[in-house]
A and B are shown apart, each in its own frame.
Chain A
């Protein structure tokens, strides 16, 4: 019984920490974007502007939560919850350390893929239920983008799965004791990272919500905490992709012994979160057809080739 309680407490703690990280990322992102653009960013509220998160939260909670009369009310309410749930469920399979993690699922990688494919619904349904041209366009773009990038995401992951011989994320981390997988799987890593960018619709690929064309895309009609769910969901998505990249390609909690495993994991994860933000600060948004042709004409053949070569090498040398 006590073990169950410890597990429950750990799950709740992980949830709290994740939500805190996601909320904190709002501040981190603004601050880092400013730093890379020779500005200061938010630095007025509290020391170093740290209370900005609190101010943003208070603001977003007290905004009017408006449901447009022309919207499909039920679906409109469900849509933002889906993104939060899908992303938070994906965190269940991530092993933060050998002992910290929600479940030790045998099909961890597939579970993540399943959940991320659920995430596409929030974009589609939000775009459709808003009953607004811009939202609909955003939803259509988002769904097409997410479905196609899921394909390459899955395929690029398979190289790692072949090398580790398991879908279990813990086994994958353990298999990286000799060498981190980003060295043999450099192509897979790049494809996975790009697909992760598209999957979370982060800035170079934020075509579903491109504000210069679509106002705010699929969440144009959302306000208050419903918008906040999309917002926090996006940051949770960044955290998720960073955590996965860390787990799959950069040896998860592994690292020299002078730091505890969880610290190694967090260091690596935050490095990738910062990379996400740096990419946002740097790269302009491609056109929609450019994004799709990059996916289908470059990434898909590359991912397949990577998979074939990895499989052949593993078969030949019996790794």
Chain B
């Protein structure tokens, strides 16, 4: 009986405590920069797509919500012909970001993506691509990669040696 009365009193005192609720639409919660929200495809400093369509993100995705098709432009630069993320399946685990070798796919702190029609949750490449570089500035895969895809000649990159001519490799 006494303990019941005490708990009644304790609950009553909660009237004067601070509210735990965040009044969401007016009062936004703080989201840290590495918060895992909506997925975007970023561009390199030259404004080209970073994605090289290696399929690693699609392979890493535990719910198979990413689908893409690789293709090449006339310079031999790989890029996705289409890149589709079904956000009604995405669980925002961030494995795709981990798997990405070129920092192309990134998760940003944005979660307000509710839709009335479920079909609208399937994002195509034009919805996913942003014009900036996302979290990793200055990184340009084709500048440090050993291939010539129209960005630089083979071996012209920084910290990159000239390609070895295998025909002259005799001792």
Contacts and interface: CB of A to CB of B under 8 A. Distances in A.
A279 interface: yes
A36 B15 contact: yes
B20 A36 contact: no
Contacts of A37: 14
B19 A39 contact: yes
Contacts, number: 32
A236 B165 CA distance: 93
B7 interface: yes
B23 A279 contact: no
A35 interface: yes
B118 interface: no
Nearest to A33: B11
Nearest to A39: B21
B18 A38 contact: yes
A278 interface: yes
A40 B23 contact: yes
Given A38-B17, A40-B23, A283 B7 contact: yes
B8 A35 contact: no
Contacts of A279: 8
B18 A278 contact: no
Interface residues of A, dominant DSSP: helix
Interface residues of B, dominant DSSP: helix
Contact of A282 (B7, B17, B21, B23): B7
Interface string A34-47: 01111110000000
B12 interface: yes
B4 interface: yes
Contacts of B19: 38-40
Nearest to B7: A282
Interface string A263-305: 0000000000000001101110000000000000000000000
B6 to A, nearest CB: 10
| A: contact size bracket | 10 to 19
Contact of A39 (B7, B11, B20): B20
A246 B91 CA distance: 55
Contact of A278 (B12, B17, B20): B12
B4 A36 contact: no
Nearest to B6: A282
A37 B12 CA distance: 9
Contacts of B10: 282
A283 B4 contact: yes
Q: Which residue of B4, B11, B15, B17 has the most chain A CB atoms within 10 A of its CB atom? A: B11
B11 A278 contact: yes
Contact of B12 (A36, A38, A40, A283): A36
A293 to B, nearest CB: 16
Interface in B1-56: 4, 7-8, 10-12, 14-15, 17-21, 23
Contacts of B14: 35-38
A208 B92 CA distance: 42
Nearest to A281: B11
A281 B4 CA distance: 12
Nearest to A37: B14
A282 B20 CA distance: 18
B152 to A, nearest CB: 57
Contacts of A281: 11
Q: Which residue of A36, A40, A279, A283 has the most chain B CB atoms within 10 A of its CB atom? A: A36
Nearest to A275: B8
Contacts of A282: 4, 7-8, 10-11
Q: Which residue of A37, A282, A283 has the most chain B CB atoms within 10 A of its CB atom? A: A282
Contacts of B8: 278-279, 282-283
Interface of A: 35-40, 278-279, 281-283
**The 3 nearest A-B residue pairs measured at CB:** A282-B11, A38-B20, A40-B21
Given A39-B20, A282-B11, 13 more contacts: A36-B15, A38-B14, A38-B18, A38-B19, A38-B20, A39-B19, A40-B21, A278-B11, A278-B12, A279-B8, A282-B4, A282-B10, A283-B8
